[in-house]
Every structure is written in C-alpha cells, then in structure tokens.
Amino acid sequence: MRQYCRYCVHCFEADDYRCSNHPKGKEPHWTEEQIKRVNKCPNFELSDDIITRRNYRPRRSKEDLKQIKLKDFLSDEREG
C-alpha cells in the first residue's frame, strides 16, 4: 500500500500541515502539495484523509482494467 501523509493519524493541520510523531518543536512543516506525495515513513498509521475526510481507497491497477483491441471493437460494430 502506498503511504501518503494526508492519510496518516499523526498529520494535523495548523497554519500548514505537521506531523505529531516528531519531537516537540521539530515537526516538519508541509504544504498541501507535499502531503499528497507518496512517502515511506516508518510511523505511518492509516486514518481518514485530512483534507476531504474520506476513507482511503486504493486505485485499480492497470492490470485489472480490460483493454479492448481495435479490431475486436470494429468487428463488434459491424455485427451490430
């Protein structure tokens, strides 16, 4: 699973976005763009999205999507 700061329990909003899991006074400051990036934080804990309050839903992989070949598409149109 990919990790995003925006879905972490430790991320909170102040004037900007910060992580409560860092030592007091050393919390990194992030912009909204930065918390939307993938990270590899060892302290990540899944939660609702801090921006939209929605649950995390992974995207479908491209392998799950069926790709139609052009010749199959054209043959279906000719038949119907």
pLDDT of residue 4: 82
Cα torsion 57, 3, 23, 19 to 10°: value is: -40
- Per-residue tens of pLDDT for the chain, all 80 residues: 778 888 888 888 888 888 888 766 676 788 888 888 898 888 888 888 888 888 877 776 666 556 666 666 676 556 65
pLDDT for position 22: 74
Query: CA Rg, the chain, in Å?
Result: 20
Closest CA to 15 of 27, 3, 1: 27
* pLDDT reported for residue 27: 67
Q: pLDDT at position 65, please? A: 57
